[in-house]
A and B are shown apart, each in its own frame.
Chain A
Amino acid sequence: MSRIRLREIAHGRSGDKGDAANIGIIANDQNGYEIIEKQLTAEKVKKHFEGICHGKVERYELPNIRALNFLLHNTLGGGGTVSLKHDAQGKTLAAALLRIELEVD
């Protein structure tokens, strides 16, 4: 077993849906998808964004394109033009999730 960063096996894109952020993560290959499908749970993502995501995290699977989609509720400081955040639209949150560590054989 060794630990790797999600960045080594996946990429993604994030954006806003009101005060929720969405993070789509796409594995580079099928093997990578099996790893994220198993390990990148909603609970793990919620813990990773502790202090940033103040609501629940929902996870959805898109196996045809080797992707997982996460919805992080109550995350963007009110969203839209209400938010005082520099990244009010959550554009950099996909990169922030790529920091997370996973275990591989």
Chain B
Amino acid sequence: MKEKIRIASGQGFWGDLIDAPYHQVIKGDIDYLVMDYLAEVTMSILQKQKNRNPNLGYATDLIDLMKRILPITSKKGIKVITNGGGVNPVACADAILEAAMNLDIVKLDVAVVLGDDIKDCLDEIIEKGCDLNNMETGEPISLVKDKLLSANVYFGAMPIVEALKRGADIVITGRTTDTGLTLAPMIYEFGWNQNDYDLMAAGTVAGHILECGAQSTGGNFLGDWESIENFAEIGFPIAEAYPNGEVIITKHENTGGIVTFETVAEQLVYEIGDPKEYITPDCVADFTSIKLEEVGKDSVKVYNVKGKPETEFYKVSCSYKDGYSATGTLTYSWPQALTKARKADRILRKRLQNLGLQFDEIRSEFVGYNATHENLAPELDEDKINEIVLRFSVRAKDRNTVNRFGQEMAPLILTGPPSVTGFASGRPKPKDVVAYWPALIPKNLVTPKVKILELK
């Protein structure tokens, strides 16, 4: 057994710093590179791409990245684990294998984790007695079943562990929890028993700290952020894991950012609910048990993590089409910038009303004044406001209604308050609104499948 393993986070979301994973593999020693590409909205986008082209539906950026890092990861024996397979892990793995052949790499086993996509077997699942009711509202799935764009089960670490046991150098999954990507190599390398819930929780907590990339190394840090050096070359986090479940959060030397009690604590509380019940497919972690200790420069020990048995359910995330929305902006300058923007807002609302258009929601915000803190923003001395952006948004079930709003935005420049600009990008276009349907499914109704694809 290895004495310790170093697991590096390479992406906090699809769209994160392109070079971050490259720097993780070249700037120091790591054993694993883990990358989270899938936000909820990403799955519906990927499903649309796959519908248009059966060879797409995965994070295409990943292929360019693999071309760049494969010569290094193959030489150093770094394993790569990512959920960038989206709704088409096999096509993703094929593209990686093709890239490897062109790079003259002689041996590469790429594992795919399948079975999370349940869109085509929903009827069967419902027949077996799983209602897939909305777990937040209790509404029945029949309300949205005909509008579904995607339906995926969140798998945990165990399918990845199986892939590693079968010799995978790279593991490509579809919908997998962010935390499972980091927990899996610990289970595999240290031979952890999956019923040792404190260890499952320890790896899960490490995964939570890694899953948003540089958010644990100084990015988006609301403490003394001005003291953080070299944001430009910020280092992404590395979890140095030990067999007893202790984890040191650190980053490569000579990179920017910082790892302290405070930066790790901020990430621990990010997007959590009840901290005693952090539920994943692998365990229920108790975040109130976590202890943090600074053990060196940019080194924070995470220890004392407690866990409980996993639940009998997987979470399912479905997405469905729910109408259209559009947003337009106009910029008003001093003097009376806010007064002008407010006047324009009233004029636009009156015109939409006169047109008899029915919207589900109309929202106006004044960027520079209250777009973030709403009514908590104190009244401003208007003479000191240099400019205000009116941000006006609508949402409706009917596409034409939203499109008609888009035609009313630009005319305000010639038919409303003065000293206004910022309409170079054209009319606001209707965008699909994609809504989510979270549900639970008994674990015995779905089975993850692992396949190993080899270089031909």
Residues of A within 8 A of B (CB): 11-13, 15-18, 20, 22, 24-26, 28, 48-52, 58, 60-67, 69, 71, 77-82, 84-87, 91-92, 94-96, 98-99
Contact = CB atoms under 8 A, between A and B. Distances in A.
16 contacts: A13-B215, A24-B266, A26-B266, A49-B376, A51-B374, A51-B375, A60-B275, A62-B268, A65-B292, A71-B273, A78-B435, A80-B434, A86-B367, A91-B220, A95-B372, A98-B222
A2 B60 CA distance: 56
Interface string B94-105: 000000000000
Contact of B271 (A16, A25, A67, A92): A16
Contacts of A58: 274
Given A51-B375, A81-B434, A86 B269 contact: no
A13 B266 contact: yes
Given A84-B393, A85-B363, A62 B275 contact: yes
B269 A96 contact: no
Interface string B383-427: 000000001011100000000000000000000000000000000
Nearest to B291: A64
Nearest to B359: A84
B150 interface: no
Given A64-B288, A87-B371, A99-B373, A22 B271 contact: yes
A62 B261 CA distance: 14
B interface, over-half SS: mixed
B52 to A, nearest CB: 20
Contact of A15 (B265, B271, B438): B271
Nearest to B264: A65
A19 to B, nearest CB: 8
Interface size classification for chain B: 35 or more
B367 A80 contact: no
B41 A80 contact: yes
Contacts of A15: 270-271
Contacts of B291: 64-65
A62 B304 CA distance: 14
Contacts of B223: 11, 26, 28
A98 B266 CA distance: 14
Contacts of B292: 64-65
A62 B287 contact: yes
B371 A13 contact: no
A96 B290 CA distance: 27
Minimum-distance CB pairs A-B, first 7: A24-B269, A11-B223, A84-B393, A15-B271, A92-B372, A84-B363, A86-B371
B379 interface: no
Contact of A81 (B221, B224, B290, B433): B433
Given A11-B266, A17-B273, A62-B287, A82 B435 contact: yes
B393 A18 contact: no
B222 A80 contact: no
A84 B374 CA distance: 13
Contacts of B327: 84
B327 to A, nearest CB: 7
B365 interface: yes
A18 B287 contact: no
Contacts of A82: 322, 395, 433, 435
